[in-house]
Structure 1
């Protein structure tokens, strides 16, 4: 791949994951949030399982680490994350949901320094977290509804936190399974978790759903394009341009979500919401001063994601964090 192709693929990923929020908004018009999330993962799990079978990959978990990773990814990183995010988006617009979930890259390194062997937190990290929180509060107060907008924001923040916590927790184990097999098991586990949560909370089952053409198209798009296709693009980019560069997808996605939400759904973002997003972006920059500076100075659009770690670095889910300045980059949490 050339540099231009890398940038093009980055744009495709931003488009796919940004429009996923629009698809969720459409599906939530008729589908219960938890069941909707479960069905999305049913489709994605089928795609991943088929890929494992066609590739004749090893699929049987053989170690305790495999089982721990499957449960952590399935229940926390995917299952609980989707449960909070889909339910939260039922109270707010797709653009607002995408913006709030961009808070995840700020909270991830803060959790990492608490759970992983680290040295200390810099002042810029504290300032970054505080700035990001102010941005989230500004967005929450923009709606002025204690039982609507504020509740949705709270659920979305919980989604970002549980995603970050699960991502850091998985660093404790090293899988023996191939990556594709691990993701297949994680998708299956997450789908089962969400089906159980959906039935326990509201008794919702597939037979109770009133299907519409728009809901069916939204579900297919989320399962096949946004989840299976999106993660394929993500891992190609991770290998090509490195974790620091690909983490910027977290701030391209909300822009795409806002544009499509306004164009297709007639959503409007207030000045307070835009200001809140700006504060979140500033917070991300403060938490990542050194890697962003290296990125600006670099003549190459990329980094080597599998390079040897320096003394003050840790790797979480394939992403590198500098523990004295908390550099890092993260999986997109809201697609």
Structure 2
């Protein structure tokens, strides 16, 4: 239990700060495809080096490499491409809030891929989450001056969140088949980087752009902390408590991201924003609160029975 709490808190802290790092990186106008490529190339190489040095790199079967390739597409490639583009349209803290809907995507995908039942309270949570997004962006989407770019940013964030969830499912499948989480993550990051490299070459992007020092530091932070340490910790947590429960970390790290965004970007908390954020977080919290109460109730029944 203590280890789970430590892993949970660590993920919240790391991922709560990565959104601002993405913003700082994109202010140097580095192409998102290039930024994602370097992030996961550095991350994968570092992880491979550590695994080789400590003799922890495991052999995986050929079919596992296909899953790693798919995982790389979903969670170390196109999903981050969506988030990197979205930061040009909406605030990084608000990106994190939308990303918190991963708990709902995980519930749906767990049902689709692993036949896990969906609790009736899921629908209430989904309603709260959707209502929260509408309230959060009410003035931009339904106001007198419709801003299509904001809507585009929201769609990109939702696509990125869906990709993250699909990557979660692939991680669960790896662990169900007894594969080493660090090894599969290293290969998935490498494949994700290679996919981004291919995209850069197709689009004719400059792989070595002149960028500010802050952008270079952001890439290193995202590669080392946001990717290697953050994702490995998260996937361990997924293996220990399940994808749906691990996604509860999304309850807290968006708040960390918004606090940082308020201090760094001058984000203004409007009444609509507070109400919308509250609805989204409440919708996610419904799972966690009910889960704990249900577990307590069942334990009492077992004792009394």
With structure 2 as the length reference, what TM-score do the two structures score? Answer: 0.83
Cα distance, 1:237 vs structure 2:
5.5
Cα distance, 1:298 vs structure 2:
11
- 2:102 corresponds in structure 1 to 104
- 1:132 corresponds in structure 2 to 129
Cα distance, 1:244 vs structure 2:
6.8
Asked if the contact 1:140/1:153 (under 8 Å) is kept, the reply is: no
Matching of residues 117-128 of structure 1 within 5 Å: 117-118=115-116, 121-128=118-125
Cα distance between partner residues in 1 of 2:119 and 2:237? 29
Asked if the contact 1:107/1:129 (under 8 Å) is kept, the reply is: no
Asked if the contact 1:40/1:222 (under 8 Å) is kept, the reply is: yes
Structure that is richer in helix per residue: 2
Q: Helix, strand or coil for the counterpart of 1:37? A: helix
Specify which structure has the bigger relative contact order, considering alpha-carbon pairs within 8 angstroms and separated by 6 or more residues.
2
Question: How many residues were matched structurally?
Answer: 293
Q: Helix, strand or coil for the counterpart of 2:49? A: helix
Residues 270/150 of structure 1: CA separation in 2 closer, same or farther (3 Å cut): farther
Cα distance between partner residues in 2 of 1:125 and 1:218? 36
Matching of residues 1-335 of structure 1 within 5 Å: 3=2, 10-30=8-28, 31-64=30-63, 66-118=64-116, 121-144=118-141, 145-168=146-169, 171=172, 174-175=176-177, 177-200=179-202, 202-207=203-208, 209-234=209-234, 246-287=246-287, 290-294=290-294
Cα distance between partner residues in 2 of 1:124 and 1:20? 31
Asked if the contact 1:96/1:273 (under 8 Å) is kept, the reply is: no
Cα distance between partner residues in 2 of 1:243 and 1:118? 11
**More moved, 153-162 vs 103-112:** 103-112
Residues 122/56 of structure 1: CA separation in 2 closer, same or farther (3 Å cut): closer
Q: Can you list the C-alpha shifts for 1:114-152, whole angstroms capped at 9, x where unaligned?
A: 333345x44322222122122223333343453322111
CA RMSD between the two structures: 3.0
Asked if the contact 2:23/2:92 (under 8 Å) is kept, the reply is: yes
Cα distance between partner residues in 2 of 1:286 and 1:236? 24
Asked if the contact 2:16/2:255 (under 8 Å) is kept, the reply is: yes
Cα distance between partner residues in 2 of 1:190 and 1:95? 25
Cα distance, 1:186 vs structure 2:
0.4
Residues 110/232 of structure 1: CA separation in 2 closer, same or farther (3 Å cut): closer
Asked if the contact 1:129/1:287 (under 8 Å) is kept, the reply is: no
